[in-house]
Amino acid sequence: MTETMPHPATSRRVVRPSQASVGETLQIATRVVVPTVAIGAVKRRPLMMALAERLQIDRSAIRLLQGLRRHHGSRPLRLAVPGRTIVLLLSPNDVGRVLAESPDTFTSDTVEKHAALGKFQPHGSLISRGRPRLERRRFNEAVLDQHRPLHRLALPMLARIDEECDRLAAEAADAGVLDWRRFERSWWRIVRRVVFGDAAADDQDTIAMLDALRRSGNWAYLSPGRVRVREALAERLSEHLAHAENGTLAAAIAREEHGTQVHPTDQVAHWLFAFDAAALALTRTFALLAVNRGHRQRARSELGAFAEGIPEELPYLRACVLESLRLWPTTPLLLRDTTVETRWGPETLPEGTSFVAYTPLFHRDDERLPFADRFAPEIWLDGTAAADPALVPFSGGPERCPGRNLVLFTVTSVLARLLRHGEYRLVSGRPLYTGRPEPATLNPFSLAFTPAANVTAA
Ligand code: HEM
């Protein structure tokens, strides 16, 4: 069913879009878009997340899109939306093309994202174009050490992470439970100490302001925005950056030359927002390791090869985190708008055409991936994931997340420290079982663990 022909610009084989009916478009709206927006695209809503888990909304969305693909073929599907050209991607290669040709042909600065993220980071890299975007992207790559598996400040970061994890493990042992509330509190202390320094460890106001703006971002252009809160947040972030402590990202910012278009506080607002996604990935990976003895033992034996207190790359633990992000991607909708008229097969799509990739379809596609619903960290180590252009929890191409290595380092360091402390059993939230298909939707807020009998470090 797939129609292919060479693309003049890239000489890749590409396909022309097909047309969804009004009924199909309405189904996509109600089973894919509305649930994704309802759980909170910018700040997750815990009650909606619990409902989403009960209804397993991702499964319903994946089944719908697989059905549409069987009916129309895997070419991009143009939705029946009046006044706009919106195209849904159904093939991994098409996702690969869109990401590879971003940001020149396809910009991440889409109408929706601009309205949502602009509430707290009006000069964010992701919602910029042209020269400002180039400068902001370069700044992010440089300060976050995008290309180094271990950030230049990994050592002081690890000391702070270990301290917070020791405290968390002690609290969990006293209380007999390690739940989301405790995870979240420790995580934000880690983030504030790593980004700003120890003096900011207890500054909950900054995150409270950011959360208020993110909640308004959930409503995108339907909410007027909260200018006073945004200004107060920018001022607070400037103060923190002005008092940069040694060994923090704020110190790295202070040393980084940048132009006037960069607006570091807006880039930092994005980092704090994105660190929240890392907390979700952390908790879900912790749950996967708690129920999968074999994987947990392999992670432990990896730790056993290294001394405590020294930053390490920990490839197997990294693969576990990446795998939890494949199973439950924290950015389920990748959106791009075309910046120019674009050839797609024999068709020319107008400038401003919106491309949508619903990542759970590609990550959990049991019609294509033998490991779709299984916890399979090995795919991140044996080249399987790298060969698939649509396994993209951190996006892909030139706009790939520049914080990827830093996130993987911070999250694996927390997991490593907790694993060294002992065993934890998953006692609450959706039950997960070794060897059974993983749920399509997993609510991280209801997960809770009890510390089991202590074991010696791996
Ligand atoms: C689990 C945690 C994270 C995941 C899954 C993740 C994933 C992503 C994805 C999918 C994008 C592209 C979004 C899009 O195209 O709409 C992105 C962009 C970005 N991420 Fe992350 N991210 C995470 C954490 C972080 C952290 C902690 C930082 C900074 C410390 C960060 C910095 C950035 C920046 C600056 C961009 C914009 C890149 C650009 O403008 O080209 N991310 N991230």
Q: What pLDDT score was predicted for residue 16?
A: 66
| Mean pLDDT for the stretch of residues 3-9 | 34
Q: Which CATH class is domain 4-451?
A: mainly alpha
Q: Is a pLDDT exceeding 70 seen at residue 458? A: no
Residue 191 beta carbon below 6 angstroms from any ligand 1 atom: no
Whether pLDDT at 300 is above 60: yes
**Shortest-distance atom of ligand 1 to CA 331:** 10
Atom of ligand 1 nearest to the CA of 278: 1
At 314, the pLDDT band (50, 70, 90 cuts) reads very high
pLDDT in tens, 340-379: 999 888 889 999 999 999 999 999 999 999 999 999 999 9
At 453, is the pLDDT very low, low, confident or very high (cuts 50, 70, 90)? low
pLDDT tens column, 13-42:
445 679 999 999 999 999 999 999 999 999
Closest ligand 1 atom number to CA of residue 330: 5
Contact 39, 52 (CB under 8 A): yes
* Summary mean pLDDT of the chain: 93
- Judge if the upstream peptide bond of residue 370 is cis by omega within 30 degrees of 0: no
How far, in Å, CA of 191 to CA of 210, rounded? 14
Place of tokens 């009006």: 122
Give phi and psi for 31, each to the nearest 5. Answer: -100, -15
What is the model's pTM? 0.94
Q: What span, in angstroms and rounded, lies between the C-alpha atoms of 426 and 180?
A: 12
Nearest CA to ligand 1 atom 17: 401
> Percentage of the chain surpassing pLDDT 70?
95
Instruction: Kindly give the distance from the C-alpha atom of residue 435 to the centroid of ligand 1, in angstroms, as a whole number.
Output: 31
For the CA of 395, the closest atom of ligand 1 is 10
Q: Is 371 in the pocket of ligand 1 (CB under 6 A)?
A: no
Residue 435 has pLDDT above 90, yes or no: no
Q: How far is the CA of 394 from the centre of ligand 1 (A)?
A: 6
Indicate whether 98 pLDDT > 60. Answer: yes
According to the model, what pLDDT value does residue 225 have?
77
The predicted pLDDT at position 15 comes to 54
Q: Whose CA is nearest to atom 21 of ligand 1?
A: 401
Tell the residue nearest (CA) to atom 27 of ligand 1: 275
Atom of ligand 1 nearest to the CA of 280: 1
Identify any residues that bridge with 337 across adjacent strands, giving them in sequence order: 107, 354
Amino acid identity at 166: D
Number of the ligand 1 atom closest to the C-alpha atom of 128: 40
> Six-digit token pair at 257?
């030359």
Q: Which of 191, 282, 401 to mutate to test the pocket of ligand 1 (most atoms within 8 A of CB)?
A: 401
Q: Which residue has the higher pLDDT, 224 or 121?
A: 121
- Dist. CA 418–CA 427, nearest whole Å: 17
Round to whole Å and give the CA distance between 124 and 400. 15
pLDDT class of 310 with cuts at 50, 70, 90: very high
What phi, psi does 256 have (nearest 5°)?
Answer: -95, 120
Pairing type for strands 342-344 and 106-107 reads unpaired
Residue 2: its pLDDT value, please? Answer: 32
Residue ID of nearest Cα to ligand 1 atom 20: 401
Q: Say which residues have a Cβ less than 8 Å from residue 270's Cβ, sequence separation at least 6.
A: 117, 121, 124, 125, 126
Nearest atom, ligand 1, residue 407 CA: 27
Alpha helices in 120-263 (DSSP H): 130-143, 154-175, 180-195, 204-217, 227-242, 249-255
By C-alpha distance, which of 178, 251, 203 is closest to 414?
178
pLDDT digits (tens, 9 = 90+) for 61-89: 999 999 999 999 999 999 999 999 999 99
457: pLDDT strictly greater than 60 = no
Ligand 1 pocket, residue 143 CB under 6 Å:
no
Residue matched to tokens 């601009």: 114
* pLDDT higher than threshold 80 for residue 454: no
How many Å lie between the centroid of ligand 1 and the Cα of residue 433? Answer: 30
pLDDT (0 to 100) of residue 5: 34
HSE at residue 340, side-chain half, CA atoms within 13 A, is 8
CB 100 within 8 A of CB 109: no
pLDDT, tens digit, 9 for 90 and up, residues 407-433: 999 999 999 999 999 999 999 988 888
pLDDT at 224 over 50: yes
Q: Which of 3-7, 260-264, 316-320, 403-407 has the lowest mean pLDDT?
A: 3-7
**How many CA atoms, within 13 angstroms, populate the side-chain half-sphere of residue 10?**
18
- Which H or E run includes 321? helix 315-327
Is residue 278 lining ligand 1, measured as CB closer than 6 Å? yes
